[in-house]
Amino acid sequence: MANPLKCDLCSKPATVHLTQIVNNKVHKVDLCESCAQAKGVTDPSGFSLADLLLKASLNPEETAGGMRCENCGFTQNDFKKHGRFGCPLCYEAFRSIVEPMLESMHNGTAHTGKVPHRALERKSLYDRLTKLELDLNEAIKSERYEDAARARDEISQVKQAFNAKIPD
């Protein structure tokens, strides 16, 4: 610190440095301790916010590269804070940070254990059904009755398979 900053208000040496982003513009304020106190900057709750803003602005790369899960809104910073993810789809959204982590964390990076076959089968049938129902509606709308008939037959087949798999 060869060239200490001076307080913007009274030109004493500044010890409190506040950075705020308002409407995407960075505002920096340097204050001495007494002016900061007078302005309420040192109020604990207000100050932690300032600190947060400061850190974020000092590290623009991190905020730009900060990933976010579209499904649940969980962010990379949330992960840093909690060490846990927001939802199962986060593993897709944060794949690039999860993969290197797994190597040091586990005895391998690919699952070789139990597979919930029934649940997966049910899901694939369900997805197929959803798609067929969409197809059917499309076909009816555009008056492609042959396609519609085919979709309808397939739907009843899938439903049968579905009921056979899941008795209830």
Partner 1 sequence: MTISSLIDTPSELTDSTSSKSAIVLMTRVRLARNLAGFSFPGWAKAAQREEILGICRAAVTATPQLKRCFNVTIGELTELEKQILVERHLISRELSGAKAGAAVVISKDQAFSVMMNEEDHLRIQVLRAGFQLKKAWNAIDDFDSAIEGSLDFAFSPTLGYLTACPTNLGTGMRASAMMHLPALMISNQMEKVVRAVNQLGMVVRGLFGEGSDASGSIFQISNQTTLGESEDEIIKRLSSVLQSIVEHEMNARAKLLEADAGKLLDKVGRAYGILQNSHLLSSNEAMNLLSLIRLGIDLGVFPDGNRSVIDRLFIEAQPGHLQHARKGQFEPSQRDVLRAERLRSEFANFARPDFNLTPNGKN
List the interface residues with partner 1, window 117-146 (CB under 8 A): 118-120, 122-123
The residue within the footprint of partner 1, chosen from 85, 144, 147, 154 (CB under 8 A), is 85
Stretch that binds partner 1, among 41-49, 59-67, 77-85, 137-145 (CB under 8 A): 77-85
For residue 56, give both structure tokens. Answer: 């974020």
For residue 57, give both structure tokens. Answer: 């602005």
- 163 belongs to the binding site for partner 1 (CB under 8 A): no
- 40 belongs to the binding site for partner 1 (CB under 8 A): no
- 98 belongs to the binding site for partner 1 (CB under 8 A): yes
> Based on the number of CB atoms within 10 Å of its own CB, is 31 exposed (0-12), middle (13-18) or buried (19 or more)?
buried
The residue within the footprint of partner 1, chosen from 38, 49, 87, 134 (CB under 8 A), is 87
The residue within the footprint of partner 1, chosen from 1, 61, 112, 146 (CB under 8 A), is 112
- The conformation of residue 75, written as its DSSP 8-state character, comes to B
Cα separation, 4 vs 15, in Å, equals: 9
- 105 belongs to the binding site for partner 1 (CB under 8 A): yes
Identify which of 45, 64, 57 has the alpha carbon closest to the alpha carbon of residue 17.
57
CA-CA distances (angstroms) from residue 25 to 22, 54, 65, 122? 5, 13, 19, 51
Residue ranges in contact with partner 1 by CB under 8 A: 72, 74, 78, 82-88, 91, 98, 101-102, 105-116, 118-120, 122-123, 166, 168
